[in-house]
Amino acid sequence: MPPLSREFERTGDQLLVAVVERAECAPYHNIHWKLRLNVVPIMNSDTPAGISAFIADNATVTGDVSIAVDVSIWYGAVIRADRDSISIGRGSNIQDNAVVHNTPASPVVIGEDVSVGHGAIVHGATIGNRVIVGMGAIVMNNAVIGDDSIIAAGAVVTEGRVIPPRSLVMGVPGKVVREVTDEQAGSIVRNAHVYVALGRETFHG
């Protein structure tokens, strides 16, 4: 199956997803597939019509989700806004097997040029612009990550923690170890731009 990537045609758009439940052998070497069709809402009414974004075929995006231009959501990622809203800013990427979820009164806001790394979890938190949430990192409810910050791989930002801009956060629980350098700040943007290019390349085949 080709990647499920497309230009959304209207606000309130939905995906019709075919799920294979089983395959049965039939005479003359035919195979009968039993399919279940799911309608999955992927955008709320605040999402601009006609945007281009890449969503991998096995990613899950459901509920009150707003997706901006050049967002990419990669294989196995789950964006589940069934308890409050989730917004993902322009040029941001949610990488393979990452999870974005929330609780009531704790929406998720992800800014522009953000990379949420493989297997990371963002739960009910606010992520500023130009941030990397490293592989396997966890950002908990009502935490706020300032612009131009790096949350290192495996770090845990605990509930309600406010991380100042340009912070490098490491450890469990996460602590600010120093300020992000100019080179690191530039690498955050470059990484986001790489994923924009990858999303466009996959989108257009």
Question: For 98-140, what is each residue's pLDDT tens digit?
Answer: 999 999 999 999 999 999 999 999 999 999 999 999 999 999 9
Q: Where does the pLDDT of residue 202 fall: very low under 50, low under 70, confident under 90, or very high at 90 and above?
A: confident
> What's the CA gap between 141 and 158, in Å, rounded?
8
Q: Is pLDDT larger for residue 25 or for residue 148?
A: 148
Which helix or strand (DSSP H or E) is residue 30 part of? strand 30-41
> What's the CA gap between 121 and 20, in Å, rounded?
28
pLDDT of residue 40: 45
- Closest to 171 (Cα-Cα) out of 137, 148, 200, 140: 137
Q: What is the DSSP letter of 49?
A: T
Report helix, strand or coil for 194: helix
Percent residues over pLDDT 70 in the chain = 74
> What's the CA gap between 24 and 130, in Å, rounded?
49
pLDDT of residue 16: 43
Question: For 181-195, what is each residue's pLDDT tens digit?
Answer: 999 999 999 999 999
Predicted TM-score (pTM) of this structure: 0.79
Q: Tell me the mean pLDDT in the region 156-177.
A: 98
> What's the CA gap between 140 and 13, in Å, rounded?
29
What are the chain's domains?
Answer: 5-203 (2.160.10.10)
pLDDT of residue 29: 54
Q: Which amino acid is at 108?
A: V
Q: Where does the pLDDT of residue 166 fall: very low under 50, low under 70, confident under 90, or very high at 90 and above?
A: very high
Q: Where does the pLDDT of residue 24 fall: very low under 50, low under 70, confident under 90, or very high at 90 and above?
A: low
Phi-psi region of 64 (alpha: psi -120 to 50; beta: other; left: phi over 0): beta
Q: Which residue matches tokens 């393979």?
A: 96
Dmax over CA atoms of the chain, in Å, equals 68
pLDDT at 3 > cutoff 90: no
Asked if 151 contacts 139 with a C-beta cutoff of 8 angstroms, the reply is yes
pLDDT at 49 > cutoff 50: no
User: What is the number of other CB atoms lying within 10 angstroms of the CB of residue 74?
Assistant: 23
Q: Tell me the mean pLDDT in the region 153-171.
A: 98
101 token code pair: 């979820």
User: What is the number of other CB atoms lying within 10 angstroms of the CB of residue 40?
Assistant: 12
Question: For 118-129, what is each residue's pLDDT tens digit?
Answer: 999 999 999 999
